[in-house]
Structure 1
Amino acid sequence: MKLTVLAATGGIGRHLLDQALARGHDVTAVVRNPAKLGEQPWARVVQADLATAGPAELRAAVEGADAVLSGLGAVGRAGIGVAEHGTRAVIGAMRQTGVRRLVVVSAAPVGTVPSPDRPHPPRHDPGEGPVLRYLLTPLVKRVLRAHYADLVRMEDAVRASDLDWTVVRPPRLTDKALTRDYRTAHGRNVRGGVSVSRADVAHCMLRSLDDPGTIRQVLGIAD
């Protein structure tokens, strides 16, 4: 399969790149700084700053791809806005080139965050237990308010597109090893799920490419 990976030097993006190459996929890695990839003889590399790039700059990166996988997300306050901007840009490039399949990573609390397209979201996610619902989720949403606002606008752009999309929403991310032993839930967060490894999120995103039941679906994921 021919894949394009956005933010391929990021926490999830690097796992997407490594796992996709290990499976024998033909991969194009889109990165702001190619030097961060190190020696990478097996992937085509396209340099682009996804905080500013437009569809025309990404067209060559996605043309001919079977799917685009995005690990976009802000690292620190300086990066806030990259998820929405970069995703809108790649959606534009995909429309221009006829590429249909898009898988993006978001975050578990986003389903209850208001957005321009969803000004009145549910107050609680059905997958949340009492501790998450009344303690952990409200706390995290206050601390990361701007990051989640960026992600929810990204999700708005994905939903408004005519693409075959999947949104994957993990809770707290860890650097634990790949287990393949994670839980998923359609349209809600995973009951009792508080963490998941970046490696397992990448595995789930790649696995969704072979599952038509994930098209135009939000997937919760957790250990």
Structure 2
Amino acid sequence: MKIAVVAANGKAGRLIVEEGLNRGMDVTAIVRGENKTRANDAIIKDVFEINKEDLAGLDVIVDAVGAWTPETVHIVPDAANHLANLLKGADTRLLVVGGAGSLFVNPEHTKTVADVTTFPEEAMPVLNAHQKALDDLRKYDDVNWTYVSPAGDFQADGERTGKYILGGEELILNSKGESVISYADYAIAMIDEIESGSHIKERISVVSE
């Protein structure tokens, strides 16, 4: 299987590249500067410079673009929309590294984590950006997208346990009553979804066991 990871030098992107390579996938790293991953193939471009020719022949694109300041968070939904527009009508799938704030906390799906949780004011632009990315993806009926929400506590340096619980639109907790997952276990879940292709045009969520 041929996949490309956008923002492959980032913490999430690099682990997704690693997991894909370990599964025998043909992985291309798409990065703005020097390729710092183990991928042999690399495209040196900003996400907004990527064109249809760059994506030709690929089975899956992973959007691992992140941003954390009020001035840059617009990049999160903008990148998702740019890639989705390139993939309109194509068989190539788009998997997006999402956020947890948009997960629902009630069966009616009227309230999200962001609605019922008091977050620091500086965190809200990030939550809103990830929410917009998901809302925008839901409008594409001609793109094979999947949005993968991590648990609320998304730990960059957390342990790779090799285990996780798969959820859907609602926030789920592990056996300890926690919403937590490491980047490494998230990468496993992402590659599992790439292999299975079980949730096209859906949002899924993952939490550690």
Q: TM-score range by the shorter chain?
A: 0.7 to 0.9
1:172 corresponding residue in structure 2: 153
Q: 1:80 to 1:23 in 2, by over 3 A?
A: same
Structure with more of its chain in helix, by fraction:
1
1:210 corresponding residue in structure 2: 195
CA RMSD of aligned residues (A): 2.3
2:145 partner letter: W
Number of aligned positions between the proteins: 198
After superposition, the C-alpha distances for 1:52-78 in whole angstroms (9 at most, x for unaligned) are: x15xx3323311111111212213344
After superposition, the C-alpha distances for 1:179-199 in whole angstroms (9 at most, x for unaligned) are: 121112122121333221011
Identity %: 22
1:115 corresponding residue in structure 2: none
Checking the alignment, whether the CA contact within 8 Å between 1:111 and 1:122 is kept in structure 2 is no
User: Are 2:42 and 1:45 equivalent residues in the alignment?
Assistant: yes
* Aligned 1:32-71 pairs, distance under 5 A: 32-35=32-35, 37=36, 40=38, 42-50=39-47, 53-54=48-49, 57-71=50-64
SS of the residue aligned with 2:87? helix
After superposition, the C-alpha distances for 1:145-190 in whole angstroms (9 at most, x for unaligned) are: 1111111111122211222221111122111232121112122121
- Structure 2 distance, partners of 1:86, 1:177, is 29
TM-score of the superposition, structure 2-length normalised?
0.84
After superposition, the C-alpha distances for 1:5-49 in whole angstroms (9 at most, x for unaligned) are: 1110111100011111111111111111225x16x4x43111222
Gaps of 5+ in 2: none
- Structure 2 distance, partners of 1:152, 1:207, is 24
- Structure 2 distance, partners of 1:124, 1:160, is 19
SS of the residue aligned with 1:221? strand
User: Are 2:129 and 1:150 equivalent residues in the alignment?
Assistant: yes
Checking the alignment, whether the CA contact within 8 Å between 1:65 and 1:99 is kept in structure 2 is no
Q: 1:193 to 1:61 in 2, by over 3 A?
A: farther
Shift of residue 95, structure 1, vs aligned partner: 2.5
- Structure 1 distance, partners of 2:91, 2:120, is 34
- Structure 2 distance, partners of 1:60, 1:29, is 15
TM-score of the superposition, structure 1-length normalised?
0.79
2:61 partner letter: V
1:13 partner letter: G
Shift of residue 79, structure 1, vs aligned partner: 2.7
Shift of residue 139, structure 1, vs aligned partner: 2.2
Runs of 4+ in structure 1 displaced over 6 angstroms? Answer: none
2:123 partner letter: L
Checking the alignment, whether the CA contact within 8 Å between 1:193 and 1:221 is kept in structure 2 is no
SS of the residue aligned with 1:202? helix
User: Are 2:151 and 1:163 equivalent residues in the alignment?
Assistant: no
Gaps of 5+ in 1: 113-120, 126-131
Checking the alignment, whether the CA contact within 8 Å between 2:66 and 2:76 is kept in structure 1 is yes
1:122 corresponding residue in structure 2: 110
2:30 partner letter: V
Residue of 90, 100, 104 corresponding to 1:108 = 100
